[in-house]
Amino acid sequence: MTELATEPVGTSPGPHPDELVHRIQALEERLDAVADPVAREAADDLVATVMDLYGEGLERIFRALEEGGVEAVALRDRLAADGVVASLLFIHGLHPVDLETRVRGALDSVRPYLQSHSGDVELLSLEDGALRLRLQGSCHGCPSSASTLELAITQALEEAAPDLESVDVEGVVEQTLPSRALPVIGSAQPSTPAWVAIEGVAGLDPDTMTEAVVEGAGLLVANVGGTLLAYRNECAGCGSALGRGELEYGILACPACSRSFQLPLAGRLLGGEESLQLTPIPLLTENGSVKVAVAA
């Protein structure tokens, strides 16, 4: 059982959903340890019957919403977008949004991040819950593509489509050089990322940028043609902060050394013979919230 990602429909008192999940897991372990098979079977039957009852209730609620007109359907969709409610709907096979639509939505949510690394992802097929994808551009065959998959695509799919049976991705190679892993804040080595909200950047105007600090790390966030991109706030050439540099058509000029970097191309140096590149930071936009990856 995975942790519940939640965007609550409304506020409510009580334990956090993740706490309830851990409590359920602990109770399941206690039931498995019961020596009396009759008592264990009765407990299993009780849990299954309660689940069936809640499932029947959810089905009736959502059927009524579907039949209740435009406003009721909008409320149904709002409920289905809540992580906790969606998890219950998945359990009972009641989610109103079909699997392919959810998969495509998850892929669309991570495309800005992939494109910031000059890459993309293509949906090849989805049959009987088996999904086939292909990494494109610089993501295809790149030693860091396994990290790309873990940081962005896999996590987005787990949240939007936990009912997938399998995911097969073309263009992924095993990561053999730790230093080539996509960076996350707080770690120079590959690690499991946690996504942390970054405030004050969601409304950034196109072709503008701002400086931010997350977990003690200085970041530069830029809106390039409507896409938010995040980089460490440090010039790859001279080490200076970039916040006062000039940004034009996705090209950022360092205010100290005048080197120019192509933000839409993963921060690569523009022209010259030097092999320099800014350090991109994974950034995702979800339900109006902007998040960056931090080492867990």
pLDDT at 147: 55
The range of the structural domain enclosing residue 161 comes to 99-180
Same domain, 289 and 204: yes
The pLDDT value recorded for residue 2 is 38
Say how far apart CA 151 and CA 160 lie, in whole Å. 15
Q: Look up residue 4 and give its DSSP letter.
A: P
- Residue numbers in the chain where pLDDT is lower than 70: 1-18, 116-118, 138-151, 171-194, 272-274, 287, 295-296
Asked, for residue 7, whether it belongs to a domain, the answer is no
pLDDT at 97: 81
In the prediction, which pLDDT does 254 show?
93
Considering the domain architecture, whether residues 139 and 231 belong to the same structural domain is answered as no
This prediction's pTM: 0.53
67 is a domain residue: yes
Number of domains in the chain: 3
* Interatomic CA distance for residues 71 and 84, integer angstroms: 21
DSSP character at residue 166: E
What six digits make up the tokens of 208? Answer: 């503008």
pLDDT at 183: 53
Write out the two tokens for 108.
Answer: 């669309």
201 and 278 belong to one structural domain: yes
Q: Does 87 share its domain with 105?
A: no
